[in-house]
Each structure stands twice: as C-alpha cells, then as structure tokens.
Amino acid sequence: MEDLNLSTLIWLRMARFVQNSNRLSNEHLRQFGLTVAQFEALAHIRNYAPITQSELAEGLTVSSGGISRMLARLEAEGLISREQDWKTKHISLTDMGRELLERAYPSQLQQQSSLFDDSLSEDEKIQLHALMKKIYDTSRKRGGSSRE
C-alpha cells in the first residue's frame, strides 16, 4: 500500500469521526427508543411539516425504499401521521412524536456538543467550523447535498 497523502488522511479521519459519532449517538438515543436515522427523520419532519415522502428522502439523502420502511416503523409506533392528498402523502409528527423529540433533541445536542466541547477550545471550534464550511461549500459546488 502506498503512503497516503495528508488530504486522504484527513478524509479518513473525518469518515472515522462520523462513524464513531453515529455509534455514540445510536447508543445515546437508545434511551429514547430511537436510532440516529429516526431522530434525523423526526427532526426534519418537525422543521418542514407537512412534508412529502420524496422531500423527506431528498432532505435526508435516503433512498425511497429506505425512507418507506423507516416511515412505516415511525407510523406504527405512533410518532408520525401520513395523510393522503390525492396522489401525495404528507407527513407530520403526532403529539407523541413531538413530545418524544422535545425530550430527545436537547439531550442529543448536548451529547454531540460534548464531543467538541471536551476536546477543543472556543478558538479551535471557530476555526474548525470555518474550515468545515469551506470544505462543505466546495463539495456542494461539485454536486453534493443541499443539506446543512
């Protein structure tokens, strides 16, 4: 295997961080009976409701099949409702889904923030944010996701 350049090492480190962060989040969200994917879906629905299934799939960068299965589970658990409007289903949170997200959201934000707060100074966080925004903006110009 040839030596990896610094840019490749940065990409690998970022990928490993995201994987580890998702693992930690899945462990943390288990207390609420949620996975990271379900949490993100509920938060996205809350922010954009009523939203269509295709809009949700696009916003979460998930396949239509994957989003269908997830929504079926969330609906069976009483966390979302889907209302048919001619050919389009609009998705909204139920009261139970809103209540669960109101409990899980601050806890999840704190858990994720602590990964940065425990290892970086305020100046380092500002610098990292600026650098990540710069990389993200470049990736969007190349056809990346519009998701923030």
Higher pLDDT, 103 or 63: 103
Q: Note the pTM of the prediction, 2 decimals.
A: 0.83
Identify the CATH number of the domain defined by range 27-103: 1.10.10.10
Query: Can you tell me the mean pLDDT for 61-67?
Result: 83
Taking only the tens place, the pLDDT of each residue in 15-46 is 999 999 999 999 999 999 999 999 999 999 99
Residue-range domain boundaries for the chain: 27-103
How many Cβ atoms from other residues are within 10 Å of residue 119's Cβ? 9
DSSP line for 3-37? PPPHHHHHHHHHHHHHHHHHHHHHHHHGGGT--HH
